[in-house]
Structure 1
Amino acid sequence: MHIRISLLVLGLLVSLVSLSQEPIKPEPEIKSQSMLWKISGNGLTKPSYLFGTWHLLCRNEIIFKNKVKLAISQTEQLMMQNFITYLSDEDYFERIESNEEIQQGLPIYKIDDRKKRKKLLKLINEHLDLKVDLVKRTKYDVKRMTPFEVYFASLHSFIEGCDRLGSFDSLLYNHYAKQSAPIGSLNERKSFLISLQNANFINVDSLTFYLENIESQKAMAMEMKRHYYVDEDLPNLIKQYEIFISNEFTNPELVNKYLLSQDVSTWVDAMQMWIGLKPTFISVNATYLLGDKGVIQTLRSRGFTVEPIY
């Protein structure tokens, strides 16, 4: 009897040792190759949906996949990152006037270095298609624009064959407005513009660099479009975008702080309130979905289940 007990104990010890030697397998990570995410749990009776938009697309490239259309049909209200962004079609000069208190930077004609000034103006003339309303301004002069203004008035020029950028939010707004559905915004346009300014990735030297290397910039814009539509590969999309906007004349810390790593906690506060009332379609730039402090992880930390829809 004593021998049997000893053998039993020995067998248990061997089992425990073998178990302890097995490597601990981490929990499988949820794939992040999707631009559409389902939000459920935490008391929600119906799911809401989080959609990652993209801004470097031509207006004829704004296409909702069937899964996104289905999500839209299952929601009763819309929440966007910004009510109106720099992609809007309103008059350029009225837009500048309404934000005149925002520091836009130094106009090109005030650049002290004459060679830099002439070089930049030459590159702008060669490569950029400025979309500004000239009807009301007969004496309009590009030299009076800042590099910041030039860049965002001509961002479509970095897409081959494009005459104007498109906007997912514009189509979404029109759709929900026709249904008289509630429409909300996660932050104000002014704060959005200030963040862009603080990132300081558009200055005389960086804009000159972008234009001198416009063919490689166009190639990267095409690659990002593939990551967005074909692969729905968020990590590589974000990685490529960081390369696209960065060069030796930009400050990585400022770009990361003000452009790539927005504080989304207040956004999620608003999301939480809205999705608790009705199924909501939430539209946020894809750049802000991932990461420890991104929208997806912040929602999960609040107790919600956030799953990709393939």
Structure 2
Amino acid sequence: MLKRSIFILGLILIGSFSVLGQEKGVFWKISGNGLSASSYLFGTIHLICEQDFAMSERVSDKLAQSNALVLEIDMDDPSLQMALMANIYNEDGQKITDFLSEEEYQEIRTFLKERTGMDMDMLKTMRPMVLMSLIYPNLLECETKAFESELMALAKTNDMEIVGLESVNDQLSLFDLIPLKEQYRSFYTYADNIEKGKREFKKLIASYKEEDILALLELVSESPEYKDYQEVLLDQRNLNWIDPMARMMKKGSMFFAVGAGHLAGDTGLIQLLKKEGYSLERLNL
């Protein structure tokens, strides 16, 4: 459960929205602007059904040629589990029952009991993002793989350094900017209509496999989590990442792997890097 919670941002995934001038593609080469070696930008989907998972030979080859694997957070950090443990429950003891009606709460309790075997009465103070992680397996209904885990395994095989663009506390703290009431309402919305969530996730996977950035953006534009907080959860993070990416690339070839939604839009990484003077070339998978 704890490992799944780290993927919360990514499963909701896709990024800022601009329908003009966008190309398809989730794998890009970064060059120019004084770089001595090219780096790479790979958009991932954090959890995907095993039968839909495919790691392109080109991706693995470019990773092997790089000096380091750079993820959103360093998932190889030994302090990761401790940070997750410290963020399971609401800091001030707020409960889900403070934000849902008794009828809504009982619906959630029944749903969670049937789907996971867990009793919501024992989880009332658990943070909404962790509760969300409990129902993601119900959206996929399959054995899953995570691109980040597979990339990390390849990196370790090649004795590569693994680093992060932000800390786990940075990522988790983003949820503090969203009122708990809205987070619990979003959780209730998903759990109350799990079939809709399944359909949307299937569309998400299909669009990712087609490398269709615009289709992904259209899906996220309807997402209750991101509708009012896209700037905080995605756009601002993209802006925050540009300087550390630039510093890393000066040291050698970097392989950046982030949620696919961080690539697109006027404040997506592709456009932001171009504005900094870098050349970006799509690489076919």
What TM-score range do you get, normalising by the shorter chain? 0.7 to 0.9
| One-letter identity of the residue aligned with 2:246 | Q
Deviation of 1:104 after TM superposition, in Å, equals 8.2
**Quick one: distance in 2 between partners of 1:70 and 1:104?**
47
CA contact (8 A) 1:104 1:148 kept: no
**In 2 relative to 1, CA 122–30 (structure 1 residues): closer, same or farther, beyond 3 Å?**
same
2:274 to 300, 306, 309: 300
1:129 aligns with 116
CA contact (8 A) 1:77 1:280 kept: yes
- Consecutive unaligned residues in structure 1, runs of 5 or more: 1-28, 133-139
1:67 aligns with 58
**Quick one: distance in 2 between partners of 1:266 and 1:189?**
15
Instruction: Classify the secondary structure of the residue corresponding to 1:203.
Output: helix
Deviation of 1:75 after TM superposition, in Å, equals 1.7
Instruction: Classify the secondary structure of the residue corresponding to 1:226.
Output: helix
CA contact (8 A) 2:70 2:162 kept: yes
| One-letter identity of the residue aligned with 1:123 | F
**Quick one: distance in 1 between partners of 2:234 and 2:240?**
16
Structure 1 residue 108 corresponds to structure 2 residue 96? yes
Structure 1 residue 176 corresponds to structure 2 residue 155? yes
TM-score normalised according to structure 1 size: 0.73
Instruction: Classify the secondary structure of the residue corresponding to 2:280.
Output: strand
- Mapping for residues 1-310 of structure 1, pairs under 5 Å: 32-58=23-49, 61-84=52-75, 96-99=84-87, 103=91, 106-108=94-96, 113-126=101-114, 128-129=115-116, 141-159=122-140, 161-163=141-143, 165-200=144-179, 203-229=183-209, 231-243=210-222, 245-246=223-224, 252-253=227-228, 255-310=229-284
Q: Deviations over 1:187-239 (max 9, x none)?
A: 0111111213434586333322212221121011011101101x101121122
**Quick one: distance in 2 between partners of 1:75 and 1:174?**
14
Q: Deviations over 1:218-277 (max 9, x none)?
A: 011011101101x1011211221332x31xxx6833x21222323323312111122222
- Consecutive unaligned residues in structure 2, runs of 5 or more: 1-19
CA contact (8 A) 1:104 1:197 kept: no
1:14 aligns with none
CA contact (8 A) 1:129 1:157 kept: no
Q: How many residue pairs align between the two structures? A: 261
**In 2 relative to 1, CA 109–83 (structure 1 residues): closer, same or farther, beyond 3 Å?**
same
TM-score normalised according to structure 2 size: 0.78
Deviation of 1:123 after TM superposition, in Å, equals 2.3
CA contact (8 A) 2:73 2:168 kept: yes
**Quick one: distance in 1 between partners of 2:73 and 2:172?**
11
**Which protein is bigger by CA-based radius of gyration?**
1
Identity over the aligned pairs, expressed in percent?
24
**Quick one: distance in 1 between partners of 2:100 and 2:196?**
29
Which 4+ stretches in 1 moved above 6 angstroms?
Answer: none
Instruction: Classify the secondary structure of the residue corresponding to 1:219.
Output: helix
**Quick one: distance in 2 between partners of 1:193 and 1:214?**
25
CA RMSD between the two structures: 3.2
